[in-house]
A and B are shown apart, each in its own frame.
Chain A
Amino acid sequence: MSARTATVAAGGGLRGRRLRDLMTNPWARPRFLWVVGIAYVVWTLLPVATAALFSFNSTRSISIWSGFSLRWYVTDPNESVLNDPDLRHAVVQSLKLATGAVLVAVPIGLAFALALDKWRGRGSGSSNFTMMFSFITPELILAVSLFLLFLNPFKFIGLGTPSQLLGLGLLAIPYAVIIVRSRLLSLGVQLEEAAMDLGASPLQALRRVTLPLLGPAIFASAAIIFAFTLDDFVMVKQLAKTGADQTVAMAIYGAARTAPSPAVNAIGTLMLLASTVVIVLAYLVYRRSARRSGARFAADREALPV
């Protein structure tokens, strides 16, 4: 809507000097789009910034600012993150589940991606299909079906942290597969074939050529999976058993529905920091190793399913 009106307005009214600018930069008014760009970023990030800010509020309110304080992080004797065992535990559980999800999903996803790459037979299509189906299905459906699964036929697993992990793994595998596969596609088979021409067995070629080259992709998928499972809500809530299985996302939800307190903003902010650190690290590592191995970003993006 806005780009269209902008271009129409531009086409109607401007001539001369501006026209020369148009020649060099022929699509839409940059200034207007900059407004759009900045407005979007502000609109997306400002509420989160306020939520983080209120975690430092000196009173209990999450809407009225009364001054800066570390009360909800350390000093409040009962309800700060430091002193409230439930909050602390939620932080630990979130980190535990996210790490576990990475450990489950990345190896499986890697294996899956390699298999899909090599296996040209009839099964590969349906395997890929099933995986993508699980990717696009709304999370609630997956969560409820696993919930019923663990309560009835798989009662020996039951609910709780192990099943939360399995559920998160289910959600995360497609991400690993997609990222690794896109990298595989851009790498092509030449390097592996070259290795085998030089006498390596397929397994050796895999281990010594392909896997190292996939390093950045593996790392990137690990980082992305970590960041998004850290905040997962629907799946972990459905499969939780006791208070010990509560994560930060569940704690925020519970508090938002009963009695919001800045302490909950505080644990949310801590998770924010954790995710940001992980993603920034991943980005730096990916960029550095990708530059070193000379891969092309564009080729990777070509292979993404969007």
Chain B
Amino acid sequence: MLYLLLLFVLPFYVILSVAFGRLDPIFQSPVLVWNPLRWDTSILSFTISNITHTDGIYHAAFIRTFLYVAISMVLCLLIGYPFAYFLARHAGRAKGLFLALFFAPFWFSYMLRMLAWIGLLQDQGYVNRTLQDVGLIGAPYPFLAGKSWVLILGLVYGYVPYMVLPLYAGLDRIPNSQLEGARDLGASPARTFFRVTLPQTRQAILAGLIIAGLPMFGDYFTQQLLANTVGTKMIGNFIVDSLDVPIFVPRGASLILVLIALLVVPIMYYLRSTARAARARPA
């Protein structure tokens, strides 16, 4: 607990003191201000106004990030649910094998997976060469030149396992007897799915959306590796770029504060629902 206090709670306060602090006159590097009474909120208001006004620096990036994450979350769900369903209900004897294969990306380096895609999507990569060979395109398509959809697919690829995990757990929990019962009562497979399976996995879907979606807000490296242009920059990029320039570190800190403020609702929802679920389970 002490560990958490020192390394988790205290750093939050550090972020506050940097965001509300001053700048050293010689080197323009951030000076922390601990006393809340002497906090300077000008940087935070600068940041917020740049987010809310349409020609603000961060406005486009915020909207874009939310858009990317939302689309990615939906795609993760659409891809993850059928696979989780398969895993939970159909893999049968191969279940262990498929589970293992599913878990594999968790412990494969995210970087290596992105590197793989870079190799495949480059101008001379297999994707372009295959497309050219079958005649779909004439010249190599610049996949890595700042395409939003490539970035979104990259995010999906990276985080879909986080979606499958809770879905799988939720689907697996549904006892066969319930589904058989529904069948016995004359429901078609579709109705069974919609009326029995899906509602019970609602909690799992939300959990999956949160567990897969939240990390995406802090992602900056996927953008840097797969897109890396001005038009695709996300909040994470601005935070990280701000740290590079000493005078902008307070801006970066205030961006983090805003991000936390925005994410606190889904975070609290997740924490409450898991706590509730834990209490509801028999000890």
A112 touches B14 (CB 8 A): no
B281 touches A185 (CB 8 A): yes
B190 touches A7 (CB 8 A): yes
Q: How does the 8 Å CB contact mask read for A111-125 relative to B, with 1 for contact and 0 for none?
A: 010010000000001
> B256 on the interface (CB 8 Å rule)?
yes
| Known contacts A26-B180, A305-B274, A47 near B113 by CB under 8 Å | yes
CB distance from B243 to the nearest CB of A (A): 7
> A84 on the interface (CB 8 Å rule)?
no
CB distance from B101 to the nearest CB of A (A): 5
A63 touches B110 (CB 8 A): no
> A68 on the interface (CB 8 Å rule)?
no
> A41 on the interface (CB 8 Å rule)?
yes
Residue of A nearest to B31 (CB): A152
> B27 on the interface (CB 8 Å rule)?
no
Measured CA separation A137–B271 after assembly (Å): 11
| Known contacts A231-B107, A306-B204, A268 near B115 by CB under 8 Å | yes
> B278 on the interface (CB 8 Å rule)?
yes
Measured CA separation A252–B81 after assembly (Å): 31
> A173 on the interface (CB 8 Å rule)?
yes
Measured CA separation A256–B144 after assembly (Å): 12
> B18 on the interface (CB 8 Å rule)?
yes
A137 touches B267 (CB 8 A): yes
Interface size class of B (residues with CB under 8 A): 35 or more
Residue of A nearest to B183 (CB): A26
CB distance from B268 to the nearest CB of A (A): 9
| Known contacts A51-B115, A140-B220, A231-B107, A3 near B124 by CB under 8 Å | no
Interface contacts (Cβ under 8 Å), in number, total 292
B193 touches A41 (CB 8 A): no
> A156 on the interface (CB 8 Å rule)?
no
CB distance from B149 to the nearest CB of A (A): 16
Residue of B nearest to A231 (CB): B109
Of the candidates A37, A125, A188, the one whose C-beta lies within 8 Å of that of B283 is: A188
A136 touches B270 (CB 8 A): yes
* Contact residues of A: prevailing secondary structure: helix
A148 touches B15 (CB 8 A): yes
> A293 on the interface (CB 8 Å rule)?
no
> A260 on the interface (CB 8 Å rule)?
yes
Measured CA separation A136–B125 after assembly (Å): 36
Of the candidates B7, B10, B190, B215, the one whose C-beta lies within 8 Å of that of A138 is: B215
Which B63-106 residues sit within 8 Å CB-CB of chain A? 78-79, 81-83, 85-87, 89-91, 98, 100-106
Measured CA separation A272–B109 after assembly (Å): 7
Most-contacted residue by chain B among A33, A144, A173 (CB, 10 A): A144
Which B202-217 residues sit within 8 Å CB-CB of chain A? 204, 207-208, 210-211, 214-215, 217
Which A245-264 residues sit within 8 Å CB-CB of chain B? 248-249, 252-253, 255-257, 260, 264
Of the candidates B14, B78, B87, the one whose C-beta lies within 8 Å of that of A153 is: B14
A141 touches B166 (CB 8 A): no
> B240 on the interface (CB 8 Å rule)?
yes
Q: List 23 A-B contacts (CB under 8 A).
A: A4-B190, A4-B194, A28-B193, A40-B86, A40-B102, A47-B120, A127-B4, A129-B275, A138-B263, A141-B218, A149-B14, A152-B14, A188-B283, A233-B109, A248-B109, A256-B115, A260-B119, A265-B112, A268-B112, A272-B108, A272-B112, A275-B108, A279-B107
Chain A interfacial positions (CB closer than 8 Å to B)? 1-4, 7-8, 10-11, 22-23, 26-28, 30, 33-34, 36-37, 40-41, 43-45, 47-48, 50-51, 54, 61-64, 108, 112, 115, 125, 127-134, 136-142, 144-149, 152-153, 166-167, 169-170, 173, 185, 188-189, 227-228, 230-231, 233-234, 248-249, 252-253, 255-257, 260, 264-265, 268-269, 271-272, 275-276, 278-279, 283, 301-306
Chain B interfacial positions (CB closer than 8 Å to A)? 1, 3-5, 7-12, 14-15, 18, 32, 78-79, 81-83, 85-87, 89-91, 98, 100-120, 122, 124-126, 157, 160-161, 165-166, 169-170, 172-173, 179-180, 182-183, 188-194, 197, 204, 207-208, 210-211, 214-215, 217-221, 224-225, 236, 239-240, 243, 249, 252-253, 256, 259-260, 263, 267, 270-271, 274-275, 277-278, 281, 283
